Amino acid sequence: MNASPAEVQDLLDRLMPFHLRVDRSLSITHVAPLLKRMAPDLGVGTQLFKRFEMQPSLHVTNFDAVQTYLAGRLVILRLDKPFVQLRGGFVPLPGNEELLFAGSLWVTELERLSELGLAASMLPPNDPLIDLLMTHRLMMTAQQSAQRALTSMRESEMQKQLDALHQTLRERTAELEKANAALQALPKSGA
């Protein structure tokens, strides 16, 4: 089965929604849909390193240097407005005229996803953020369960203490009633 370039691009967009392609002048030739959604002004023709800062900073300024020094290396591309970090690497495309930055969104706090207008359902199943989201959800569920158990245990303990206090009160009340009855039974002396 031979896929058309449009079909290949559609597949790349679905599997890597944060990728981009650059040509030999390091101008962006394609922006993946979720990256475009987060940074709508990032478009075709934009110079890669005029918008993105790279970490580690290796001061590569041309296509051949990126291809030579960065192909296969893990880098972070950082966009300042909006603040977005993409973690991935550059891969030469067939024909040696374009590079693909295959990356994923790098966040350290899940709240960042909603700030960027994203939801887990927008991410492909192979994205590492899915693992982070699942781990976070499991941690939140475990924390809520532990909180409920602690609250229940405290309520149970408080109920036991309250029951013990009621029992003590009943015992003291009974003793007081006996003492009152004994006092009432004493002969009254005339004044």
Mean pLDDT of 177-190: 80
**pLDDT of amino acid 191:** 54
Residue 169 pLDDT > 70, yes or no? yes
Give the β-pairing of 20-23 and 98-105: antiparallel
Reference 22, options 79, 96, 124; nearest CA is 96
What pLDDT, in 10s, does the model give residues 64-110?
A: 888 888 877 888 888 888 888 888 989 998 888 999 998 888 877 77
For residues 127-133, give the mean pLDDT.
Answer: 71
Which range is least confidently modeled, 39-43, 124-128, 151-155, 178-182?
124-128
Query: Where in the chain are the domains?
Result: 5-119, 127-182
Residue 30, pLDDT score: 93
Instruction: Reduce the DSSP state of residue 97 to 3 states and report it.
Output: coil
**Which residues, 6 or more positions from 191, have their beta carbon under 8 angstroms from its beta carbon?**
none
pLDDT at 130 over 70: no
Rounded to whole angstroms, how far apart are CA atoms 158 and 160? 5
Q: CA Rg, the chain, in Å?
A: 34
Tell me the pLDDT of the chain averaged across its residues. Answer: 84
Domain spanning 5-119, CATH class: alpha beta
Please give the share of the chain, as a percent, with pLDDT higher than 90: 13
Average pLDDT value for residue range 39-64? 86
User: What pLDDT was estimated at residue 103?
Assistant: 87
Q: How many CB atoms lie within 10 A of CB 10?
A: 13
